[in-house]
Amino acid sequence: MQLSSGPLAVRIRWRIFSFLFGFGFIAYVQQKSITVAADRMMPDLHLTQSQIGYLLQAFVLGYAIFQLPGGVIGQRIGARRTFVVIGLAAFLATIATPLVPNMLSGQNLFIALYCLQLLLGCSQGAIFPVSAGVFEEWFPPRQWSSVQGLQTMGLGLGAALTPPLIVNLMTRLGWQSALIWSSLPTLVLIALWGWYGRNTPRQHPSVTAQELAEIGTHRAPGAAAEPSSISVKQVLRLLRERNVLLLAISYLCMNYTFYLLSNWVFLYLVQERKFSLSESGWLAVAPPLAAALGAGIGGAMTALCCRRFGDRWGYRMVPFVALPVAALLLLFVVNTANAYAAVAALALCFGCVELTEGAFWSSGMMVGRGDAMSVCGILNTGGNLGGLIGIPIVAHFSELHLWYIAFLIGIGFALVSALAWLGIDVVTPVPAHAEPPAGEIGNTATA
C-alpha cells in the first residue's frame, strides 16, 4: 500500500464513489425499462395491466426480501465480491426478459417473466445497503448525507434516461432489442469494479496516508477496528432497536409515494392525461430529473442542517418539511385540469420526496455505526414494503381509471412518514456488537 505523506492529488474515495454511482444508475435503467416497454409488451404478449403490476411487484418482492440478507452477505464477503456477483445476476435477469417470449407463451411465459423480475429484485437488493457500508468505510461522517444524496441522484438520472432511451430504441428496433442493447453496459462496469474496487481504504494500493487521515476512524465504541460479519442474534437485536424500526416505518410510508411517482408516471400520462406515447416518453423524464436534482440537493441540505442545528434536529429537518410539501403537490395534481401543470407538479413532488434520501440513509449509517450494511438493509426492507403495498393498490385503481384515489393515498403516507421523524434520534446509535474471534475476521472483511 502506498502510504506517502506528499500532496494528495486524487482522492481515491471519489473514484470508488463513481463506481457506486454507476451501479445505482444502471440498476434504475434495468428496473424502469420494463415500465416503459410495458406499453408494447402488453399487446405483443397478451398481458393485462394488472399482470404488468404483478411483474413490478415481483421485482419489489425480491428487492425487499434481499435487503437485509444482502447487507449481511456484504458484511460477510465484502463489497468487492458482492457487487460482482449481484451485478452478473442482474445482467442475466435483464437480458433473459426479452428472450423468453421466443421460447414460451401464455401462462408459462408470465411465470418466467415473474421469476426473472423476482431474480432482478433479489440481485439488486444488496446494492444500497452494501453501498452504505462502503461509504461508512471510505468517507468521514460529515460527508455521509452528501454522498448518499449524490448516489441517489444517479438513480434519478438512470430513471430519467430510461423513458426516452427505451422509447427511441423500441420505436427503431422493437421492445425486445431495446431491452437487450440497454443492458450491455453493465458488463463493462462489473469488470472495471472487479479490477479496481476494494473493501476498505487500507486495502487499496493507491490510497495515501493523507487520505487515510482525512477519512479517519468513526466506529461506535466497542465496534471492531475493521469491518466484520454479523450473527443472526445481532441482526435480531437490530430489529428491536427503536430508531431502526422508526426509520424503516418512515421509509415504508415515504416509498409508497416514491413508487407511485417512479413506476407509474409514464402510464399515468398516457392513460389519464392523454399524451401520445412519444410525448409521454419525453415528459416522463421531468419527474426523475427533478428527483435526481432533489436527491443531490437534499444530501447537501441535510449536512448543512446538521452543522447549523446539530445532528438530532439536522437529520430531521429536511424530511419533516419536504414530505408535507410533497403531499400538497399530490393534492394539486389531483385537482388541476391542466395536464402540463400536472406534469410540473409531479416533477416538483418527486423532487421533494427525494430531498429526504440523504437524511434517511445517512441516519441509518449514524444509528448503525459498524453495522451500517445491516441497518440500512432493514431500512430499505421497510422502504420496499411500501412498494409491495403500493404497487397493487396503484395497479388496481389505475385499471379502474381511478388514479386520483392512488394519489390521495400517497398524500396520507407522506404525512405519516414526516411525523415518524419526531421519534428518530440519530445521536443514540445502537450498541456495537462485540468483535468476533480473531479467526473469523480474516474471512469476513467488508466494505
Q: Is the pLDDT of residue 439 over 60?
A: no
User: Domains in the chain, start-ordered, CATH in brackets?
Assistant: 12-216+229-429 (1.20.1250.20)
Mean pLDDT calculated for residue range 342-364: 92
- Greater pLDDT, 416 or 265: 416
Q: HSE of 388 in the Cβ direction (CA atoms, 13 Å)?
A: 18
At residue 8 the predicted structure's pLDDT band, cuts being 50, 70 and 90, is: very low
pLDDT digits (tens, 9 = 90+) for 60-83: 888 888 988 998 899 889 999 999
* Whole-structure pTM value: 0.77
- Greater pLDDT, 133 or 225: 133
Pairwise CA distance, residues 447 & 441, whole Å: 13
Residue percentage of the chain with pLDDT more than 90: 40
Pairwise CA distance, residues 407 & 425, whole Å: 30
C-beta separation of 222 from 431 below 8 A: yes
Q: Is the pLDDT of residue 447 over 50?
A: no
Q: What is the pLDDT of residue 229?
A: 62
Q: Is the pLDDT of residue 141 over 90?
A: no
- Greater pLDDT, 276 or 136: 136
Cβ neighbours around 9 below 10 Å, total: 6
Looking at residue 10, the DSSP 8-state letter turns out to be -
At residue 404 the predicted structure's pLDDT band, cuts being 50, 70 and 90, is: confident
Amino acid in position 303: A
Cβ neighbours of residue 157 closer than 8 Å, sequence gap 6 or more: 25, 288, 289, 292
Q: State the DSSP string of 351-381.
A: HHHHTTHHHHHHHHHHHTTT-HHHHHHHHHH
Mean pLDDT calculated for residue range 177-196: 92
Q: Is the pLDDT of residue 330 over 80?
A: yes
For cell 460529515, the residue is 142
Q: Is the pLDDT of residue 221 over 60?
A: no
pLDDT digits (tens, 9 = 90+) for 359-398: 999 999 998 887 888 888 999 889 888 888 888 888 888 8
Residue percentage of the chain with pLDDT more than 70: 90
Q: HSE of 193 in the Cβ direction (CA atoms, 13 Å)?
A: 26
Mean pLDDT calculated for residue range 270-281: 74
At residue 94 the predicted structure's pLDDT band, cuts being 50, 70 and 90, is: very high
